[in-house]
Amino acid sequence: MFAALRHRNYRLFWIGTLVSNSGDWMDQIALNWLVVSLTGSPFHLALLNLCRALPILAFTLVGGAVADRAERRRMLMATQGCAMLLAVLLACLAFAGNPPVWTVMLLAAARGTVVAFNLPARHSLVPELVPAGDLPNAVALNSMTVNMTKVAGPALAGIVIAILGLPACFALNALSFTVVLATLARMQLPGTGLRAVRQESMARSIREGLAFTAGDKRLLLLLAAALVPTFFGQPYMALLTLFAHDVYRIGPDGLGLLSACAGAGSAAGGALLAARPVWASSQRAMLAFMVLLGLFLLLFAVAQDLAAAVPLLFCAGAMLVACNASVMTLLQISVPGHMRGRVLSVMLLNRGLSQVGVAALAALAGLAGVQAAVACAGLAIAMLGGAFLAASPLGRRQQAAG
């Protein structure tokens, strides 16, 4: 289950991910709560997530092309340094007291731009840290770790907000970046320098990545399937703010509890795939996880009380991560190293679509209520996952592309 942690570089990567993502989740919970508390409007929550999404959609393909040219560890250090500066700026504005909403939106857009360059470099670096035989385990462990932070981050956010206030959450997130920068600096990787695509124009490099992806039906199927949980499923985490504020009326402490519960399920889903890597490399298992995700979200949305909602939220978190980790594993073992950044950047456009999904579902929540919005999303996931499962010749394990 923990085979990838035998490798020093991956251990450093894992530690940095654990600390930095805990800070990111704490920051995200605080930022969503800040916007809702300032405006009381689901539409402003939708706008916040749209500001995060548009730069990711605009620049992720560029980020993937850069990741295939640059030394990925140094690229990560640059993006994490920029993210730390933005976190410091947000903390300063929050400590100054009730920042104008437009400044929060502007910072969200800037952070989305950083994410667009950070994600392709981060995901394409993983295969350089472990042998090929440990790659499925490394991807599953990474997913488990990222989702363990969904427990630690929101739970810590609820405590910090209650005791120290919102600005302290932003300050602690800024501090967490020092850990990930230190771990990246201590990695000992071969001096690969710039990659062979260096002489190509950026536009040609992006076109090559798109052409490679479009020419492989297996990759297109994976990318199409990945759209479903990303657009319809991932947004439920942001909408937990509205469940806590409007449905259950349990305040920021209760929001931390709901988010931690979903995060605990996510960590369980990652642990499941780390223990059973054969499921991580099965397309049929990935689609089964998708169907179950839709069903659990639908049941969570229509649950009448908090006691019934909590276990359903846990199960939804587990299935979301199991589905996403399966997609990432299948892509990692199917794409050659020199194309990895660009192909993964196409998939990582989904992160921007996730924020568009948040904006769309938050707008629907403003019109029909948050429970109706999440119920519609769950139904869509279950139906589309079932259609993929019924129509596609799936279930074959993928072989590494080399």
Q: What is the pLDDT of residues 74-118, one digit of tens each?
A: 999 999 999 999 989 988 988 887 788 889 899 989 988 998 898
pLDDT at position 395 is 41
Q: Specify whether the CB–CB gap between 231 and 356 falls below 8 A.
A: yes
pLDDT at position 231 is 84
- Of the candidates 91, 63, 56, the one whose C-alpha atom is nearest the C-alpha of residue 79 is 63
pLDDT band at 256 (very low <50, low <70, confident <90, very high): confident
Q: Specify whether the CB–CB gap between 317 and 266 falls below 8 A.
A: yes
pLDDT band at 280 (very low <50, low <70, confident <90, very high): low
What average pLDDT does this structure show over 297-303? 91
Q: What is the pLDDT of residues 304-355, one digit of tens each?
A: 788 888 899 999 988 988 888 787 777 777 777 677 777 777 777 766 677 6
Distance CA 25, CA 29 (A): 6
Burial category of 379 from C-beta neighbours within 10 Å (exposed 0-12, middle 13-18, buried 19 and up): middle
For residue 55, pLDDT over 80 is answered with yes
pLDDT band at 401 (very low <50, low <70, confident <90, very high): very low
Residue 286's alpha-carbon distances to 18, 127, 187, 392, in angstroms, are: 25, 21, 32, 12
